[in-house]
Structure 1
Amino acid sequence: MRIFPILSLLLISQLLVGCEMFQRLTPGRQAPAAEPATGEAATDIPEAQCPPPVELACAEPEVKVVERIIERTRERLVEVPVAKDKLVLGSVETVAIEPGGLRLRSLVDTSAPTSSLSAQKLTPFERDGKDWIRFELTDPDEKKAEPVTIELPVKRFVRVTRPGFDSQRRPVVEMSLTVGEVTHMVEVNLTDRGAPDYPLLVGRNFLKDAAVVDVSRQHVQGRPRERSDK
């Protein structure tokens, strides 16, 4: 326990020595002259002084302005090749129908599952115990043409519902449709829509696995060739 008094004395002695050194280095006070050696006169020792303060100016950082340019890629139209066995159709095409031998301006309707034909004077009847339908077709582009009467067996009946209209029960028959050089036998439902601009709506049952549609074009295939044409 005697260590603490000893340590206290050591700290006090160190503080006294430090104060004495501080007084020696204080400006205005002269350091004690050194004793002359071997009889020579002692020379004056200049008073210890701190160096004058120097003002330092930090250089301003260099600022670089970087202009960022964002280049946007322009849209390009890319033509996608279509398989050689696919028929390219526009939104409107001329279709030849059989029986009837008519060429009708038709609307290609990808939303319709079955093709639809506007006919007049729909008359159901029975033949050999089976349902048949008699109807008339006219080409709206041929004002003076006589209507064509067609009789076909009914394959089945479908009920079609359109927004804003009552549901209709329509007979379905098989007809041959020709667009360009391609002919398909497909089911067509019959209805009387009056005198529409497009008496035939070509549905997906004709387009499936046979054609692709470019809605930005019309009459891509031109007028189809009838069976009697060479």
Structure 2
Amino acid sequence: MPDPLVTLGWREWVVLPALGIPRLRAKIDTGARSSALHVDEQWRFSQGGAPWVGFRLSHGKARGLSIQAQAPIHDEREVVDSGGRGERRIFLRTTLRLAGLEREIEINLTNRGAMLFPMLLGRTAMTGLFTIDPASSFLHGRPPRPTFPTGAA
């Protein structure tokens, strides 16, 4: 018998550990195929002959927390947003931690600065693990605040 699906609310806290993102608010969106991560800035570079992307994102209260990360580019393709506008986006493969579970997901980078949530979790990231209760929010709590050694920023 397969494991039962874990129920998520329409918004949840997620962790992207491989990108150094200890917690981030995400909108759960079954209408979106792919997942999207807000970035303020992104740049390409090569590492070991392979294409990589570096990026910076701000989030938290008044976008006061800033994280800089890098990852190999998995793919690049056109994404059509809910307004029908197409945009070529970089896709990464990274680990998602949500509701005590971890899964490798594909995520694209875009400017979501005008949106309430810095991340949108699309249906391909949820398939086979999660079901959604649209009347609920943050069912799995907030991940703990990261701690840094004394003197670290």
TM-score under structure 2 length normalisation: 0.83
1:118-129 residue pairs with structure 2 within 5 A? 118-129=38-49
Q: 2:79 matched to which residue of 1?
A: 160
SS of the residue aligned with 1:138? strand
Deviations 1:25-72, CA, capped at 9 Å, x for gaps: xxxxxxxxxxxxxxxxxxxxxxxxxxxxxxxxxxxxxxxxxxxxxxxx
Q: 1:141 matched to which residue of 2?
A: 61
Q: Identify the structure with the greater strand proportion.
A: 2
SS of the residue aligned with 2:139? coil
Q: 1:211 matched to which residue of 2?
A: 130
Q: 2:100 matched to which residue of 1?
A: 181
Q: 2:15 matched to which residue of 1?
A: 96
Question: 1:109 pairs with 25, 29, 41, which one?
Answer: 29
Paired AA for residue 117 in structure 2: Y
8 Å contact 2:58–2:64 — kept in the other structure? Answer: no
Larger radius of gyration: 1
Q: Identify the structure with the greater helix proportion.
A: 1
Name structure 1 gaps, 5 residues minimum: 1-82
> Which structure exhibits the higher relative contact order, with contacts defined as CA atoms closer than 8 Å and separated by 6 or more residues?
2
Q: Which runs of 4+ in 1 moved over 4 A?
A: 225-228
Paired AA for residue 159 in structure 1: E
Name structure 2 gaps, 5 residues minimum: 148-153
Q: Aligned partners of 2:83, 2:106: CA distance in 1, in Å?
A: 25
Q: How many residues align?
A: 145
